[in-house]
Amino acid sequence: MRFPLGFTLTQAKHRAKMERAGQKRYPTVLMLEPLYTCNLACIGCSTERYTGKLKDRMSVETCFKAVEDCGAPIINICGGEPTLYPELPELIAGLIERGKYIILCTNALKLAEKVYGVIPPSDHLFLMVHLDGMKETHDYVCNREGVFDKAIEMVREGKKRGYYVYLNTTVYKETKIEEVEALCKLVDELSANGILISPGYEYQSVERDIFLTKEQTHEKFRRIRELAKSYKINATPTFLDFAAGMVDLPCSPWSTVNFTPKGWKAPCYLIEGEGYYQDWNEFWNKTDWAYWERREDSRCTNCKMHSGSEHSAVEEAMKTWKGTLRLAAWSFMG
């Protein structure tokens, strides 16, 4: 199985419940950013996500309120670096109590002090370790030497202690597919649970020209799609078809909503300038989802992110028996 059975079943139940309720749009993932403080300043990251002060973090109660308001079954805790959030053990325990699945996106530098021996392993908790290449590339992207070696040590330790551990890599213009393949092999060597591979999003606040155009994404993902036949790549087959330019999909930004220290971010975690809402209902009802689904905005031109497209990929796959079977085979493999 690619993920624990409960994780896959929870998503299927959520989908069925929403469909029975006649909901065309609904969130499945909450990207919860309890803080904008980080111990790194990676070159591909939006500046505001690592320059925040710890004192400006949100309270655990505020996090739980956002979780209840949106109703998503999967909570992706990111930031900032979530292991720097002092209330992380309380937050994770409360989310598990509520039956949520948690993806903890981390650079791994603080796992030994803040997670191992503090937050017990659970089939509701997945550690997602950021690794943007092998040693030389990753240390360059993270702007610091030694980050790669530490991350590898922490992945090994996490697996030894019984955690679900995944790698998460972003593909930039300079990323060589040979290096992506080396990372896939590393997943097997480390007995990690899989790897999520995303094309980098062109943040307006990042000055260096490191991002892919749509055509470059297609070219790289045509090769990554081939790699997915041999390695545990956590992208659905239809998403990979989309990233490789073989099918078109509408965006579904409402499937992955984003709550930040400034409030609900419209329409998705990538777009700057559309404002924040303090109130869930206002955010949900005032955002023009139909507009963002069409990908017409200039800021969507090169975007092929999982967050906006995986829901559409699953919908597309489930339109036919062949697609549904392909999706089921993918879920149960690995």
Angle between helix 214-227 and 177-189 (nearest 10)? 40
Shortest reach from residue 92's CB to ligand SF4, in Å: 26
Applying CB under 6 A, which part among 55-63, 156-164, 173-181, 301-309 lies near ligand SF4? 301-309
Length of the chain measured in residues? 334
Which of 63, 95, 167, 303 binds ligand SF4 (CB under 6 A)? It is 303
Shortest reach from residue 248's CB to ligand SF4, in Å: 12
Residue 321, both tokens: 């028996």
Q: Is 251 in the site for ligand SF4 (CB under 6 A)?
A: yes
Q: Are 104 and 164 in contact (CB under 8 A)?
A: no
Q: How far apart are CA 304 and CA 249, in angstroms?
A: 10
Q: Is 235 in the site for ligand SF4 (CB under 6 A)?
A: no
Question: Residue 90 carries which DSSP code?
Answer: H
Which of 239, 292, 313, 330 binds ligand SF4 (CB under 6 A)? It is 292
Strand-by-strand arrangement of the 256-260 sheet: 194-199, 164-171, 125-130, 101-106, 74-77, 29-32, 256-260, 263-265, 276-277
Q: Which is nearer to ligand SF4, 263 or 267 (CB)?
A: 267
Give the three-class secondary structure for 245: coil
Number of residues that bind ligand SF4 (CB under 6 A): 14
Q: Is 78 in the site for ligand SF4 (CB under 6 A)?
A: no
Question: Identity (one letter) of the amino acid at 263?
Answer: G
Which of 127, 142, 227, 300 binds ligand SF4 (CB under 6 A)? It is 300
For residue 91, the surrounding DSSP H or E stretch is helix 88-97
Q: Which is nearer to ligand SF4, 111 or 257 (CB)?
A: 257
Which of 29, 77, 125, 270 binds ligand SF4 (CB under 6 A)? It is 270
Shortest reach from residue 303's CB to ligand SF4, in Å: 3
Other C-beta atoms lying within 10 Å of the C-beta of residue 155? 25
Give the three-class secondary structure for 244: coil
Q: Is 295 in the site for ligand SF4 (CB under 6 A)?
A: yes
Q: How far apart are CA 21 and CA 23, in angstroms?
A: 6
Q: How far apart are CA 39 and CA 162, in angstroms?
A: 26
Q: Is 307 in the site for ligand SF4 (CB under 6 A)?
A: yes
Q: Are 128 and 101 in contact (CB under 8 A)?
A: no
Shortest reach from residue 153's CB to ligand SF4, in Å: 33
Q: Is 31 in the site for ligand SF4 (CB under 6 A)?
A: no
Shortest reach from residue 291's CB to ligand SF4, in Å: 9
Q: Is 308 in the site for ligand SF4 (CB under 6 A)?
A: yes
Binding footprint of ligand SF4 on the chain (CB under 6 A) = 251, 253, 267-268, 270-271, 292, 295, 299-300, 303, 305, 307-308
